[in-house]
Structure 1
Amino acid sequence: MIDPHAHSGDQRRPGTVHLVGAGPGDPDLLTLRAARLIAQAQLIVHDGLVDPAILAMAPDHARLVSVAKSRSRHTMPQDAINQLLVDEALAGNDVVRLKGGDPFVFGRGGEEAEACHAAGVPVNVVPGISAAMGAAAAAGIALTHRDAASTVSFVAGQCKGLADQDWVGLAGKGRTLVIYMGLATAGAITEKLMADGLSPAMPVAVVENATRPTMRVLRGVLAGLEQIVETHRVKSPALIIIGEVAARAGAHHLAQIAETAL
C-alpha cells in the first residue's frame, strides 16, 4: 500500500498552498478572491482568530484543521504547521492556509512560504485587510492625518527581548505606532516608550474585536495603558494605537465606542 504522504519517488504534481488573509474579522471585509477560495476549499488550515462566520463559508465536505495559538498554548508548533502544509501539498492536495488579517503582517506567512518553496510546493498569496487597517477604520482613527501624523509603524509587542528592541523614533509627534500582540506586555511597553522619551500624556487607543459586533475602543493616555487593559479586561484580538491620531474619531463611530478617561 502506498503512503499518500511519502515524498520519495512520488511523481504526482503537488497541490498549491494558498496563503489567504481573512481580514480583521467581519466576513464582509474578505477579498473576492479569498471568499472564492474558501467556498471551493477541500482543506482549510486556519488560525484561531478567524471568525467562525468565515469558516462557515467553506463547503460541507471541506476538512477544517485548526492550528490555533495563544500566549500560553500552541495547538501546533510553527515548524509542524510548515510541515503539515508541505505534506498535504506533496500529497496532491490544494491547501487554503487561512490567517487573520494579512498573511505577511505578523502572520508568519513568510516562514510558511519559505518552507513550501524549499519543498518545491507552489504558493499563492492572497492579501487581506490587515488587523491594523481594519481596527483603525472601524474605530474611526486615521492612522495618517495631515494635522497629526505622516508616519506609521507596526511592531509586535509580544516577542523575545522586548526591552532590547529599538523603538526609538517610532512614536511621538507626527507619528503613529500600532502594536500587535501587546496586551500581556502593556506595562513593559509603557515603561519602554516613556524611557525613550515619549510623553506619558500621549493619546492611546486599545481596539478589541475590531470590525465585529463586540468591538470596543478604549481611549486614554500612555501612562494609563496597562490600567486600561486590566480594568476593562481586554482580550485578544486587540491592537494598541499610540499617537495624536488616537484622540481623533469620526462622530459616526461614537455610538459603538466605549470611551474611558483613564
Structure 2
Amino acid sequence: MPELRTTTLVDAPLRTVAAALLDARLLARAVRGLGVRITGGAPVLHVGASLAGSVGPVNGTLVVTRADTTGVSAELVGGPLPKFTLVTDLLHTGGGTMVVDSVEWSSPGGPFGRLADVLVGRGLALKVLQARAAAVAARSTELLRARVVVGAAIVHDGRLLAQQRSYPPEAAGKWELPGGRVEPDETDHAAVVRECAEELGVTVTPGDRIGPDVPLRPDLLLRAYAATLTSGTPTPTDHQAIRWLTSATLDSVDWLPADRVLLPALRPLLP
C-alpha cells in the first residue's frame, strides 16, 4: 500500500495552526494549478463534512473523520480507489508546530491500478502536500493577527445552552453558542462575561478553552470557553430562541458551521 509523508515546521502556536487547517477553502486554493479541483462543502471542516474533488477525469469525495487540535483526517468515498486517506497531525515543539502530512492509498489491479499509482503517487501527491503545507503556514500567519470572537459553552444541570440566530438572513434559524467579539484591550474571559450579560441577562464564570480555534474570516476566528452559570435565568435578547441540550440532543439542532466544529469538544462536558 503506497504511502507518502512530509513534515513542515510552522512558526505559530499549535492552536493557530489547527485553526488554519480547518479552513476548508485552503486546500482548494493550495492545489489550484496542479490539475486537482476541490469544490463544495462547508466553509470550515468538521467531522462529517465533505469535499468533492477530481484529478483529471477521476472524481471522488473526501469525508472528514477528524478535525480538532490534534489535526485533520479525511477519507475518500465514492471514488475509484479502494482506499485513500489524508492525515495531518500536529505536534508542539520548542520552535513552533510540526505539521506531519501523510497520504496513503491502495489501487485496484490491472492497468488502471498502475495509472492510479502514477496519478496519486510520488509526483502529484508530493506536490499537493507541499502546496498545502505552504498554504497552512501562510494562513497561520494571518490568524496570528486575527481578531477573536468568543463563544461560551454554558453547562448547567448537565445541559448545554444554545441560542438560535435571527439574523443575518444566511444564518437565521441556525444555532450557536452565546458570545461575541472581544473588544480592544479586553481579555477573552471578560468578553465572555460581558457578552453573556448582554445577550442572556446572566452572570457566568468562564473556564478553560475548549476545542480548536475556528476561522470565520481571514481576519476573524472563534475561540470557545467552558462557562458556569452563576446567577440569572437566560433570556434571549436579539436571538429567536434558546434551548438547553443534553448529550442525546446535541446533534438535534442545525448548528452554524463554525459551532459544529466544536461538537466533539462539547460532548465530554455533558453527562
User: TM-score when scaled to structure 2?
Assistant: 0.30
